[in-house]
Amino acid sequence: MQAQRVVFSRPNEVELETFEFDPTPGPHEILLRTLTSIISAGTELACLTGLEGWARLPFNPGYGSIGEVMAVGPEVKEVQVGDRVFTYGKHASHDKARVLALKVPAGLDPVYAVFVRMANVSLTALRVGRPELGDRVAVIGMGLVGNFAAQLCQLAGCEVLAIDLLEARLERARACGLARTVNAQVTDPAEAVKEWTSGKGCELVIEAGGTAQGALLGAELAGKQGEVVLLGSPRAPLETNVTDLLRRIHLWQHGCVTFRGAHEWRYPVHEDPQGFTKHSLERNARILLRLLAEGRLQVEPLLTHRLPPERCAEAYAGLRDRPEEFVGVVFDWRKESLKR
């Protein structure tokens, strides 16, 4: 059958192409008609530029999607035809779920449900960093991943400070219930944290912008025996003297700060039926889908663009060139829904 997909044809060139798709599911596969798919700005823009090590062009990108089950392989038991499921899917009109497929709670709009993919990245910071009730947490970067990390820390009982360079993103953070914000272009974050914590520093800092500069700032914001969780993936090189950073990590009088990596793939995909391993991508996503369905995790202020896939070039150009306007970008593959 013929289907459509987004393709990075060459560096910084995006197009929607028609391709031949085999609709026959393998024994463990689930055939899906895609309803919505979400762009991960950091990862996908890195792939689009042709940055070494991220993707070989031409490339069909994609991070997460919501799809309707059209057929299942003979070994698939957990879903059936007609179910709506979340999966780590591509930007394509049709796909096959191979990694993960979880039923979407009834009544949860696929346009909002697909944000669970980005929140699943964010939740890794809480699994790795272990924020506790009453902790003061600074989150650097208010893109989707940082915003969700801040919301989740607040749900865990922490006091949260949201930091960004763009006032528009801080406005969205406040709309999501994150009342304490700092515009780093106007106010020195280190001074803001010093005042907020009476000079003690934060118990936890989450770097969600994916920059080396953000990681260095995190070390400044953390208090004694504090933690800095690297949630973003640094891409651009930075030349600097790291001696002060190493002192912050090693010496007691400088803080004994701990750095932790929070790449989501450090955990297994599926839940352990024996219960020996607590965390998994599957368990995290189930929890987040429930929070979304209950309205406890805010999404609406983050949905800045809901676009048909035909406007894919516009979507990526906006994320690259106008980050104050383009934050949460979702492709809606349902032709009928965009006519309303």
Measured distance CA(180)–CA(66) in Å, rounded: 33
Element (H, E) at 84: strand 84-87
* Sequence ranges of the domains in the chain: 2-115+299-339, 118-265
Q: How far is residue 259's CA from residue 227's CA, in Å, rounded to a whole number? A: 6
- Taking residues 100-108, report their average pLDDT: 96
**254-281 tens-digit pLDDT:** 889 999 999 999 999 999 888 888 999 9
Model confidence at 218: pLDDT above 50:
yes
Average pLDDT across the chain, whole number: 95
The CATH H-level (homologous superfamily) assignment of domain 2-115+299-339 is Medium-chain alcohol dehydrogenases, catalytic domain (3.90.180.10)
The pLDDT score that the predictor gives to residue 274 is 83
- The pLDDT value recorded for residue 340 is 40
pLDDT at site 339: 46
Q: How far separated are the first and last CA of the chain, in Å rounded?
A: 27
CA dihedral 253, 254, 256, 258 (to 10 degrees): 170
Instruction: Give whole-number Cα distances, 271 to 89, 280, 317, in Å.
Output: 19, 6, 37
The residue count for the chain: 340
Positive or negative: CA dihedral 73, 77, 292, 284? negative
- Is the pLDDT score of 48 beyond 70? yes
pLDDT confidence of residue 235: 81
Rounded Cα distance between 123 and 36, Å, is 22
- Per-residue pLDDT of 146-200, as tens digits, reads 999 999 999 999 999 999 999 999 999 999 999 999 999 999 999 999 999 999 9
Whether the per-residue pLDDT at 126 is higher than 60: the answer is yes
Domain 118-265: CATH architecture, name and number where available: 3-Layer(aba) Sandwich (3.40)
Position 62 pLDDT exceeds 90: yes
Question: Which of 225, 232, 221, 200 has its CA nearest to residue 41?
Answer: 232
pLDDT, residue 15, reads: 97
- pLDDT recorded at residue 237: 86
* Per-residue pLDDT, 338: 47
Q: What is the DSSP string of 290-334?
A: HHHHTT-S--GGGEEEEE-GGGHHHHHHHHHH-TTT-SEEEEE--
For range 91-98, the mean pLDDT: 96
- Residue 185: CA atoms inside 13 Å, Cβ hemisphere, count? 8
Confidence of residue 336 (pLDDT cuts 50, 70, 90): low
Mean pLDDT of 17-28: 96
Under DSSP, the state recorded for 267 is S
pLDDT at residue number 236: 82
Residue 310, amino acid: E
Pairing of strands 258-261, 222-230: parallel
Contact between 38 and 65 (Cβ < 8 Å): yes
- Give the integer Cα–Cα distance in Å for 242 and 244: 6
